Amino acid sequence: MPEFDMAQYLNTDEDVAEYLSQVLEDGEPGVLAAALGHIAKARGMTEIARASGVKREALYRALRPGAHPRLDTVQRVCRALGVALTAKVIAPHPNCADTDRGPR
């Protein structure tokens, strides 16, 4: 059975952003690295390596399925891909429930 190639479906910036959003929403450890790898392959690994300042061989290792790349590597790759990882509130923190008073 041939391996599924996600890179062929990542044609636009919107495709990339939606894919990364879904990966982050699912919250599976180690999947973010593989997703960034799929996107980097779709955009051209050599170009992403150059733009991120990470050697191509190191990029392949850092972005393989199950890898746990350092945060600075993830940030450099995201910047090279033109995307940003963001945080959103999923449940209010008990110490921040009273927004009129600010953080305690």
DSSP string over 66-83: T----HHHHHHHHHHHT-
Q: Is the pLDDT of residue 34 over 60?
A: yes
pTM: 0.78
For 42-53, what is each residue's pLDDT tens digit?
A: 899 999 999 999
DSSP letter (8 states) at residue 9:
G
Catalogue the long-range contacts made by 13-16 (C-beta closer than 8 Å, 24 or more residues apart): 13/82, 13/83, 16/42, 16/81, 16/82, 16/83
Distance between terminal CA atoms of the chain?
A: 56
Q: Per-residue pLDDT averaged across 11-15, rounded? A: 88
CB 83 within 8 A of CB 16: yes
